[in-house]
Amino acid sequence: DVRLVESGGGSVQAGGSLRLSCVASGYTISYSCLGWFRQAPGKEREMVATISYYGTTNYRDSVQGRFTVSRDNAKSTLYLQMNSLKPEDTAMYYCAVRRGSSCSGGSFDYWGRGTQVTVSS
């Protein structure tokens, strides 16, 4: 059974930083696309950042330059370093895994339960 557990969320002032982690168990993440998604109340879930097996990253425009996604396959962990946080970043953040080395196309196969990020003005 595959389980993804996010951590690192919390409340922070605008301009602050948080680092989210997602630990995967029951699944080897090496040949996988890993991604961070977020969903704010009343809004649709949106992609925040993805990272392929090769380390290729992709970011939502609104977080480009502020967030950094990384992975540590040996630790089965996905990270999201979030700097210069804005109130608009407030959301539940989810990690997800797509089988395969590429992040192109297809849906994600596994999802975590999320960690809340709240950014105050």
Question: Distance between CA 111 and CA 91 in Å, rounded?
Answer: 16
CA dihedral 4, 93, 43, 88 (to 10 degrees): -170
pLDDT in tens, 27-64: 777 789 999 999 999 999 999 999 998 899 999 999 99
Residue with tokens 């649709």: 44
Percentage of the residues of the chain whose pLDDT score is greater than 70: 99
Retrieve residue 44's tokens. 């649709």
